[in-house]
Amino acid sequence: MPKSLLIISRQAPWSGPNAREALDIVLAGGAFDLPIGLLFLDDGVFQLTAKQDAKALQQKDLSANLQALPMFGVEDLFVCGDSAAERGLETTGLALEEVQVLSAHDITALIDRYDQVITL
Amino acid sequence: MKFAIALFSAAHAPSSRRALLFAQAALAGGHEIVRLFFYQDGVYNASAAVVTPQDEQDLPKQWRAFVTEHQLDGVVCIAAALRRGVLNAEEAQRYQREAVAVGAPWELSGLGQLHDAVQEADRLICFGGA
């Protein structure tokens, strides 16, 4: 039985390569068929904002990579509802439809369920 | 206990120094380090191009000495390293760059090595931020 890994992604999508690099860990794990979860927390929730215009910042669109998650077999996708609310972000109509909204209390239990955790 | 250690912060960050101290303490305590994995700005810790003022800790040099002495498996994420210009001779040749910053004992490899270490280790210990 492989060990499960939770990636907690806490960086906004356009504040440097961190968000993309967190996602790359998740996609690599999915490619190896490992049990991987991804939680968007703090400024990481901004990665889920729909209809971002990456071109205006001369960046590549990260949300295209997010859409690849289910294709890589990564279905355990979570967003912290409290982080979203603090930032005025509605949890309906996010860029990733499959994402489950969790409370801070749920997240405690979520982290406990995983063998290993990486926070980026 | 078998530890995997992941480092995400640059060589001048206090957390990189904590990572080295933790790794040294783990071995001193009779534990095993299955792999060191440098990712994000952590790749700078493997750079031989870092120059540290004489009265400060030369962390890349200390990491090199530590990994060499204990013959550890030190892996630097290749994608993160390329993005930050931390190339070994092979990659410098591949991309026709003059600057070579990484050599032995470090190996440039993919994220699969991180997942492999996660599977093999009892504990994954991450160091990042400040």
ipTM at complex level: 0.92
Whether pLDDT at A97 is above 90: no
**How many Cα atoms are found within 13 Å in the side-chain-facing hemisphere of B13?**
17
Residue-wise pLDDT for B48-105, tens only, equals: 999 999 999 999 999 999 999 999 999 999 999 999 999 999 999 999 999 999 999 9
Beta-bridged to residue B4, according to DSSP, are B35, B124
Cβ-based contacts of A116 with chain B (< 8 Å): 118, 121, 123-124
Confidence (pLDDT) at A48 = 95
CATH code for position B84: 3.40.1260.10
CB neighbourhood size of A109 (10 A): 10
Give the residue from A41, A120, A88 showing the smallest Cα distance to B111: A120
Confidence (pLDDT) at A63 = 83
Interface check for A28 against chain B (CB to CB < 8 A): the answer is yes
The answer to whether residue B126 is catalytic is no
Among B38, B82, B115, B127, the strongest candidate for a mutation testing the A interface, having the largest count of A CBs within 10 A, is B115
Distance separating alpha carbons of residues A82 and B15, to the nearest angstrom:
28
Q: Which of B115, B123, B124 sits opposite A34 (nearest CB)?
A: B115
Q: Which of A5, A17, A120 sits opposite B128 (nearest CB)?
A: A120
SS3 B129: coil
The DSSP string of A35-89 is: -EEEEE-GGGGGGG-SS--GGGGT---HHHHHHHHHHTT--EEEEEHHHHHHTT-
CA distances from A56 to A38, A59, A89, B93, B129 (A): 27, 8, 21, 34, 28
Beta-bridged to residue B127, according to DSSP, are B7
Residues 6+ apart with CB under 8 A from B16: B7, B9, B10, B42, B45, B59, B127
Confidence (pLDDT) at A57 = 84
CB contact under 8 A, B126 and A118: yes
CB contact under 8 A, B79 and A24: yes
Confidence (pLDDT) at A58 = 85
SS3 B121: coil
Confidence (pLDDT) at B16 = 97
Which one is catalytic: B77, B80, B108, B121? Answer: B77
Six-digit token string for B69 = 């002495």
SS3 B3: strand
CB contact under 8 A, A120 and B8: yes
Confidence (pLDDT) at B78 = 98
Confidence (pLDDT) at A55 = 86
* B93: DSSP letter: H
Range of the domain at B30: 2-127
Residue-wise pLDDT for A38-82, tens only, equals: 999 999 999 999 888 888 888 888 888 898 999 999 999 999 999
Find out if CATH 3.40.1260.10 is the number for domain A5-49+62-119. yes
Number of structural domains, chain B?
1
Confidence (pLDDT) at A109 = 96
